[in-house]
Amino acid sequence: MSSARPRRSALYVPGHNARAVEKARSLPADVLIFDLEDAVAPAVKEEARGLVLAELARGGFGHRERVVRVNGATTPWGAGDLEAVARAPVDAVLLPKVEGPREVGDAERRLAALATPPSVALWAMLETPRGVLRAADVAGAGGRLACLVAGTSDLVKDLHARHTPRRLEVLTALSLVVLAARAHGLAALDGVHLDLADDAGFEAACEQGVDLGFDGKTLVHPKTIAPANRLFAPSAEAVAHARRVIEAHAEAVARGIGVVVVDGRLVESLHVLEARRVMELGEAVAALGPTCP
């Protein structure tokens, strides 16, 4: 997994909604998560699966990372979803409500048995108290696992908590998800913001997600793509600073010096590693062009 691949915005697309799937082809989201689980009523699960498979086969989603959230393995639709998606042109399969490494391992073995290409990754949602408490075990499952996704809506429900502007009710859980992801070299996506009328609150949640270390945010409406893309991308100033850090440190090392001061702050090798990540991500975002701000 390349840490430079932009995953600033990951939009859930209801699998039963043909209009939403069609519109997704023109949206500037980095990731499209075609949802067969929570967004789809039981009566239309099979119909949604067929629609998503047909539209994926039709293509036209461009650079966007194509992910399908399947139903859980213990549901009546889980096995069928996984078998169908295993043969589809997707980048990843998102497993819901993961509570331990065994679920990831079971999906891994099932995909292997179905001769799914190695390029198809597994993503895991951590959205229950048990799942969050076992985040490190899940992240260490290995194999195709490439990303952890925080599911804050279900988590708040299970905690008997309340959604608050500062998200104190899930702050510990969010940190545990990021810690587990980074410990095992995985990507990490923040949970959704449910109040679509609260633009300021959404931006504050994005900024908090950036501060915590998330790569991007999962979204429930296209109107939130642009601010997520802007806030989870390195600013021009950040990229310029990263370049100065790399150049100044290289010059210092050439003179036999291990540390240097850049813009009034001490810089050593660990800061160079982060500066390179910022520069690579900035370059990857810029390469997407003006249609994906």
Task: Flag the least confident range among 9-13, 23-27, 268-272.
Answer: 268-272
Confidence category of residue 2, pLDDT binned at 50, 70, 90 = very low
CA distances from 272 to 149, 203, 242, 266 (A): 28, 28, 8, 11
- Percent residues over pLDDT 90 in the chain: 93
CATH code for the structural domain at 9-231: 3.20.20.60
Radius of gyration of the chain (CA): 20
pLDDT score at 4: 79
* H or E stretch at 156: helix 152-159
Res. 1: pLDDT tops 80: no
Whether 8 has a pLDDT exceeding 70, the answer reads yes
Question: Do the beta carbons of residue 191 and residue 151 sit within 8 Å?
Answer: yes
Average pLDDT over residues 129-148: 98
- What proportion of the chain, given as a percentage, has pLDDT over 70? 98
Residues 116, 111: Cα–Cα separation, whole Å: 5
Q: Give tens-digit pLDDT for 155-168.
A: 999 999 999 999 99
Tens digits of residue pLDDT in 54-103: 999 999 999 999 999 999 999 999 999 999 999 999 999 999 999 999 99
Residues in Cβ contact with 126 at an 8 Å cutoff, skipping those fewer than 6 apart: 98, 132, 135, 138, 148, 149, 150, 151, 173, 177
Question: Quick one: pLDDT at residue 184?
Answer: 98
Range 38-64 average pLDDT: 97
Under the banding of pLDDT at 50, 70 and 90, the label for residue 290 is low
Which pLDDT belongs to residue 258?
86
Q: What is the pTM of this model?
A: 0.95
User: What is the predicted pLDDT for the residue at 289?
Assistant: 77
**Average pLDDT, stretch 12-21?**
98
Residues 221-271: pLDDT tens digits? Answer: 999 999 999 999 999 999 999 999 999 999 999 999 988 999 999 999 999
Rounded to whole angstroms, the Cα distance separating 3 from 41 reads: 35
pLDDT in tens, 177-189: 999 999 999 999 9
Instruction: Residue 84: name the closest of 20, 18, 134, 15 by CA.
Output: 15
